[in-house]
Structure 1
């Protein structure tokens, strides 16, 4: 057994114990804090003594204590970075599980790349996102309700998809828009959703050539920036990148992450194909831990609750593959939670 597989086995055993015990954990409160420097709001999940009530948020229904006073948990903060076009609520089950384990959990809304604003989707958002994570730490740390309950010297950070890109940056990776351009020029047919998103879809007919040519024309005009971008935060002590967008990274910069880096791999991800993204990070990073390997999961399979209003290409790219068992979702969340317990909490 390799060191990586042994670590996965230990995490798996601990995670199964954790998911069994979470049922008896404390209630979870939720509140929104205003962001800094023009950022969107920061949604915070946290332990509380107040009883849960039904809270309806658009199409989502949660059992939480909205606006309740926080109680002391384990003293650690975990920041979650949503995927492109995302909202806090598709990660609510994961955030609740983290809060039940004692963490305060902050979800910043990334400006220009969220459920109601798509103005900055892509590299313009990717430049901002790591800084928005740092400012979210500042926001929670400055709030008089949470500041006395937290020590911010060992913060956890998790991100999914574009949020996974953010996670890789905060782990010490550097990326370039031109590297994405080069990838798309080489792999436009095989990795079309990475390069185009949901705006176009290939159907194996005569129009595909025009779509690829048009996409490359736009990509070459927009992705001509050859600079490398990066940002780290000394307060962050452990990171998990779930199905990260990774083709625009200098993989050598991820060979030795600045903090422990865990990865989540969804084997049937049709949006960010593992062979081009997470698998390349795993090859480059000998010290990384594969925290979750879900061979039958699609790109969005670990989101919970799932977005209810998928349409068009989003259905194929985000909906569960037919053979995916959603009983794996809380188990995956438990493994990630245990990863943060392992690296953020003092050893007893």
Structure 2
């Protein structure tokens, strides 16, 4: 695996020599969707761009140039935004990809009103419509061949990625998982609302959470999503306990996993490890970070002073984890998509 990501880094460096910066634009969503943020190879120079708490180096609305002709869609985690995936997007752009990030309705930083199964039903179609939005843009469409598209997702976005791989899930399976493992996987069942602290309130928290879950999630419909344009996907620290693991035993497209050994938000044995056990050598373990927790998928990480205590506990880096390893993980992800999407060579100049 190591020689592959080195190859990807070399290819990225060679491509960077022919482009000036990482372009940034925002497209209107289709059918009432939120905006689609797009990073792309550009002839413009990177300049400081402020987005929320992040100062980024990007070429805002600069001219687009052709890279390798391939599109990657990043589906953000619950309550997420595009900016916490900027480092991966820049690595993909350096290798020639265009990267699009849809805003998932009711489960984003501006509107976190309907996370969980309600959002998971909508998310895959929102990804497909983001591809359509890029295909309709007169600046980007001529530079892309959309017969092979990649999807990357972390956490709730990882759930979306698994749906594209052929995974079938249901709200009823979510309920069943929480009924069986509410204490061991509490944050997966309730999100970033509260945590268990080993005190007298824990029993009340578990009782109330299960009462809500039983009331809302009885639907046993098996949900999945197929878009023939999507040919490779990577799920990073995914929520996966509500999938029928038999549906992921033989992924219908190339499937990669990124895992974190100290993930307390999606406990690996119920989620990422269960997927790996199901697909075995029919999927690729792109990267494993034994000392990382759930927030390793976020790069750059939001400033900790903007996170509440629950978010810090579930997303914060464990003591001793060094974020300097994340560029290598990004390079492995780039390499996975480069192999499976077969990027096209840039036209001769």
Deviations 1:45-70 (A, max 9, x none): 00011111111112111111100110
2:102 maps to 108
Tell me the C-alpha RMSD between the 2 structures: 1.6
Deviations 1:294-334 (A, max 9, x none): 11111012311111211121001001111111111111111
Residue 148, structure 1, aligned to residue 142, structure 2: yes
* Equivalent in 317, 320, 336 of residue 333 of structure 2: 336
Q: TM-score, normalised by structure 2?
A: 0.94
Is the 1:19–1:334 contact (alpha carbons within 8 Å) kept by the matching residues of 2? no
Does the residue aligned with 1:214 lie in a helix, a strand or coil? helix
Deviations 1:91-137 (A, max 9, x none): 01110111111000000000110001012211111000000000000
Unaligned runs of 5+ in 2: none
Is the 2:8–2:95 contact (alpha carbons within 8 Å) kept by the matching residues of 1? no
Mapped partners of 1:346, 1:104: distance in 2: 11
* Equivalent in 156, 161, 168 of residue 162 of structure 1: 156
Mapped partners of 2:8, 2:187: distance in 1: 33
**Cα distance 1:15–1:73, how it changes in 2: closer, same or farther (>3 A)?**
closer
Q: 4+ runs of 1 displaced by more than 6 Å?
A: 19-23
2:33 maps to 39
Is the 1:28–1:99 contact (alpha carbons within 8 Å) kept by the matching residues of 2? yes
Mapped partners of 1:151, 1:119: distance in 2: 35
1:295 maps to 290
Does the residue aligned with 1:194 lie in a helix, a strand or coil? helix
2:299 maps to 304
Q: TM-score, normalised by structure 1?
A: 0.94
**Cα distance 1:155–1:35, how it changes in 2: closer, same or farther (>3 A)?**
same
Does the residue aligned with 1:300 lie in a helix, a strand or coil? helix
Residue 260, structure 1, aligned to residue 254, structure 2: yes
User: Alpha-carbon deviation of 1:14?
Assistant: 3.5
**Cα distance 1:76–1:97, how it changes in 2: closer, same or farther (>3 A)?**
same
* Equivalent in 310, 319, 322 of residue 325 of structure 1: 322
Mapped partners of 1:255, 1:221: distance in 2: 31
* Equivalent in 76, 79, 82 of residue 73 of structure 2: 79
**Cα distance 1:75–1:18, how it changes in 2: closer, same or farther (>3 A)?**
closer
Does the residue aligned with 2:176 lie in a helix, a strand or coil? helix
Unaligned runs of 5+ in 1: 1-7
Is the 2:177–2:242 contact (alpha carbons within 8 Å) kept by the matching residues of 1? yes
Residue 89, structure 1, aligned to residue 83, structure 2: yes
Mapped partners of 1:128, 1:42: distance in 2: 15
1:197 maps to 191
User: Alpha-carbon deviation of 1:10?
Assistant: 4.8
Does the residue aligned with 1:30 lie in a helix, a strand or coil? strand
Mapped partners of 2:71, 2:8: distance in 1: 19
